[in-house]
Chain A
Amino acid sequence: METLILTGNHAVAYAVKMARARFISCYPITPQTGIVEKLSEFILNGELEAVFVPVESEHSAMAACIGASLTGVRTFTATCSHGLAYMHEMVHWASATRLPIVMAVVNRTIGPPWNIWAEHGDSVSQRDTGWIQLYTSNHQEAFDTVIQAYKIAEDPNVLLPVMVCLEGFVISHTAQPVILPNQEDVDSFIPHEPWRHIIVDVDNPITHGNLQMPEDWFYEFRFLMHRAMDAAKEKIVRCSIEFEKIFGRNHGHLVEEYKCDDADVILLSMGSLADQAKVAVDVLREEGYKVGALKLRAFRPFPEEELRRVAKRTKCIVVVDRNLSPGKGGALASELKATLYGFKGMPIVIECVAGLGGRDVTLEEEIGLLKQAFRVMEEDGEPSGIIWLGLK
């Protein structure tokens, strides 16, 4: 076990190495490139025994991972932004083939205009592809989540690909200490047992993808994907608990609560903003405000019961979305409201869109948001539309 000061990108690369991915295919895109460069280096110097295929597009990167995963090997790719959008068709293909591919998404905004900085919109807009989406808040969590992702994806009851999301530059290019576990511990945590549900085997020839008529079983196969997502919820929790037993830390399961027990106002967010919200909570607690921070790790499967359980105990949830669906608002706020609707004793929800195009979100801004929530409650008013944080 050792601790290195690593960028978020390198933390991911180390995790992929320690997970012993055997096949990697990538196409360069800022700010993801650091991951694939580091992995190439690991392969070159013999630290990682893997086949690396430098493809000509992200669409091909995912297709190559699909091809390789069909032969039963552990695969990895990384992308973001336009690359993820370009890959979109194959993102669907991977999950509907139920292949346990792991992909790092170094969240970046989508142009035009060109902008290479952090925003969750790229992965959020892949919401309906049938991928498990785990959002990470810091370097250690990015490392640990990649390791966990293989365990979750390869579970026979799950068999769904996983996106591990970390914000561009904010995490990818900044450096922080990362504890690297012992290789033997990682090996025993994620032993590789090839999946059997679909495998290219010349002795047992099968065809995958044959046409199904509307009255056949297509609908049911999609239903099975939904059930696998339900199974993934349990698996994510169990995996996180098991991980803590071996490695001594956890980052929350589906959600992570921070001082939520008696909080009147809770700030819900994903990624780095959720880490920072803990500081905002500490500052306000000092001032006597009963506030908490709630971090959403799993955006898919969406932790409805966990969110309701927390929500029931509080009066107001402020949702900070680093993504925007023009014409509606932030995705997390929409999904939270849908989750709470119709249940008794649910808090008011205040929506905030922040940090688009990589605009920095400061501690003071998060503190301000929480205070604003108290004012809304005092006025006994209803939340009035989206708060556009720092709109000039």
Chain B
Amino acid sequence: MLPGNSACQGCGSTLALRWVLKALGKKTVIVNPASCGCVYVGLYPRTAVSVPYIQMAFAAGPAAASGMVGGLEAQGKKDVTVICWAGDGGTADIGVSSLSGSAERNTNYIYFCYDNEAYMNTGTQRSGSTPAGAWTTTTPLGKKESKKDMALIMAAHRVPYVATSCSSYPADLYGKTKKAKLIQGMRYIHILTPCPPGWRFDTGLAVKIGRLAVQSGMWLLYEVENGVFRLSPPSRKILENPEKRVPVKEYIRAQGRFRGMSENEITLLQEMIDSKLEKVAELDGKPLFF
């Protein structure tokens, strides 16, 4: 990832891509369906990524990656890692059929969803991945519906590796990407990437906001490896030490997009998170599905 690209200041997605590329190395090919990623690499005839980066139509990322994997396989080229680098709209909404198809075929690639929880490239419209309560230009009063849980949906495809991460935890992301690289078949990594203009916070807080998401339990870091669910250290820490858990209110109130949420709604959200964490504690280390 080279500097001087056209990402917004404080972009969580470019921070995540930096670490993903560090983990994967030079022998990597990226398919990037329409998303911020098709703009932030820069304008023709220059680009900010130093591995092949193929921009793709919105719904076509996983299928194009499947083709690339197949084309390389047909030529016996085995040392290249194909990845799809997609946003949450491309993942949870328009691209879900193509993504699910590639998972069902257990295509040998890594799919990364960088999740900034709305259509940020078009100016913040709601996506299936926008959390309840969040303002977007198409949910001016706050989204009523819940966030689609793509990582669990992908785990239900019984692919060999599913993980969640966050751009504020580069070591976590780097480790999971390194691990995924060595696994054969379809691998899915879902990265929460805070977005200053879309989430309405000062650019300098980009890392802090992601950390609050994890420390409050709003966003969980975990892996599902061969069906077994395992919490990652940052999330396990808040389970094992409830005193280190940050009230979700701190996360919510740090962002302009949740300004429409009432105290009551935040209390309810806190209860939901507490109950989620209890269930998660039981699941840790166990198979996720029957």
Contacts and interface: CB of A to CB of B under 8 A. Distances in A.
Direct contact, A vs B (beta carbon within 8 Å): yes
Interface of A: 22-23, 25, 50-51, 53-57, 59-73, 75, 89-90, 93, 200-202, 205-213, 216-217
A210 B64 contact: no
B7 interface: no
Interface in B52-80: 52-57, 59-75, 77, 80
A211 B43 contact: yes
Interface size class of B (residues with CB under 8 A): 35 or more
B49 interface: yes
A118 B255 CA distance: 58
Nearest to B104: A56
A198 to B, nearest CB: 9
Nearest to A216: B44
Interface string B25-41: 01111010000001101
A25 B49 CA distance: 29
A212 B74 contact: no
B18 to A, nearest CB: 16
20 contacts: A22-B74, A23-B71, A23-B74, A25-B66, A25-B67, A56-B97, A56-B104, A60-B97, A60-B98, A63-B56, A63-B63, A63-B67, A64-B66, A67-B66, A69-B67, A72-B75, A202-B29, A205-B52, A207-B47, A211-B43
B100 interface: yes
A152 B243 CA distance: 70
Given A56-B100, A60-B60, A216-B44, A202 B67 contact: no
Interface of B: 26-29, 31, 38-39, 41-47, 49-57, 59-75, 77, 80, 97-98, 100-101, 104-105
A306 B54 CA distance: 39
Nearest to A202: B27
- Specify which of A50, A69, A73, A89 lies most central, judged by the most chain B CB atoms within 10 Å of its CB: A73
A72 B71 contact: yes
A348 B104 CA distance: 57
Contact of B68 (A62, A71, A90): A71
Instruction: Please provide the 8 A-B residue pairs with the shortest distance between their CB atoms, ordered closest to farther.
Output: A67-B67, A209-B55, A71-B71, A56-B101, A60-B63, A64-B67, A68-B71, A63-B63
Nearest to A92: B57
Contacts of B45: 210
Contact of A90 (B49, B57, B65, B66): B57
Contacts of B73: 51
A216 B45 CA distance: 10
Given A206-B52, A210-B43, A93 B68 contact: no
- Specify which of B61, B70, B75, B98 lies most central, judged by the most chain A CB atoms within 10 Å of its CB: B70
Contacts of A211: 38-39, 43-44
A205 B63 contact: no
Given A210-B42, A211-B39, A23 B67 contact: yes
Contacts of B70: 23, 25, 51, 53, 64, 67-68
- Specify which of A75, A200, A205, A212 lies most central, judged by the most chain B CB atoms within 10 Å of its CB: A200
Contacts of A61: 63
Given A202-B26, A205-B50, A211-B44, A67 B31 contact: yes
B52 A201 contact: yes
A55 B68 CA distance: 13
A202 B82 CA distance: 11
Contact of A64 (B49, B52, B64, B74): B64
B66 A55 contact: yes
Nearest to B107: A53
Contact of B57 (A56, A93, A212): A93
Contact of B72 (A55, A71, A90, A208): A71
Contact of A68 (B46, B56, B68): B68
Given A67-B31, A67-B63, A93-B57, A202 B101 contact: no
B48 to A, nearest CB: 8
A202 B80 contact: yes
B277 to A, nearest CB: 35
B51 A90 contact: no
Contacts of A60: 60, 62-63, 66, 97-98, 101
Nearest to B61: A63
Contacts of B62: 60
B66 A73 contact: no
